[in-house]
Amino acid sequence: MPTDALGNALLVSARNAIAAHFGLPPDPVTPPPELAEPGASFVTLTQNGRLRGCIGSLEAQRPLATDVAENAFAAAFRDPRFPPLSQEELARTRVEVSLLTPAKPFPVSGEEDALARLQPGIDGLILSFGRRRATFLPQVWESLPDPRQFMRELKLKAGLSADFWDPAVTLARYGVRKWKEN
């Protein structure tokens, strides 16, 4: 568990939101004042190092405590890539909470410019084209360390072809503070 109060509160709140679905009692948590402020978060669930669910918010539109609880519930029970989490899985599921900085436009002259200027391991990236949009958290660089492959997979996630590029593509970058259960 993290040693700072915010990280501990975020992780406990996320796990409590999932446990409540099964009727389990919540673990006590002392909410730091930051939980009442607007915040954007992603909650990532893993089992044995493998993704088990990940849902989040790109913009701060509700109190951080609410954002984390609702994203934790959605990651456990509404991620369309996975079946709903079972109570038996809960004990072996690890929770990670990422607190996002506000996204900033990342104007580029083309894909090669974007690839040259991306900061692996640092940048979270939002790709938008028309009604299509996808994001990768900075943690995704751990499994996709090459900027070209990172961008290809992000385009696929947005429902575009891996080699697609158009001048109307827009990018935005953001960073995260993250906490993960041991």
Q: How far apart are CA 50 and CA 31, in angstroms?
A: 29
Instruction: Identify whether residues 92 and 125 lie together within a single domain.
Output: no
- The predicted pLDDT at position 86 comes to 98
Query: Going by C-beta distance under 8 Å and a sequence separation of 6 or more, which residues neighbour residue 53?
Result: 43, 44, 45, 75, 76, 79, 81, 82, 85
How does DSSP classify residue 27? P
Note whether residue 48 is domain-resident: yes
Instruction: Identify whether residues 88 and 132 lie together within a single domain.
Output: no
CATH code at position 127: 3.30.1490.150
- The predicted pLDDT at position 3 comes to 63
Q: What is the pLDDT of residues 15-38, one digit of tens each?
A: 999 999 999 999 999 999 999 999
Q: What is the pLDDT of residues 112-154, one digit of tens each?
A: 999 999 999 999 999 999 999 999 999 999 999 999 999 999 9
Note whether residue 182 is domain-resident: no
The residue range of the domain holding 113 is 104-176
Q: What is the pLDDT of residues 41-70, one digit of tens each?
A: 999 999 999 999 999 999 999 999 999 999
Over the chain, what is the mean pLDDT? 96
- Residue type at 44 in one-letter notation: T
For the whole model, what pTM was predicted?
0.92
pLDDT surpasses 70 at 1: no
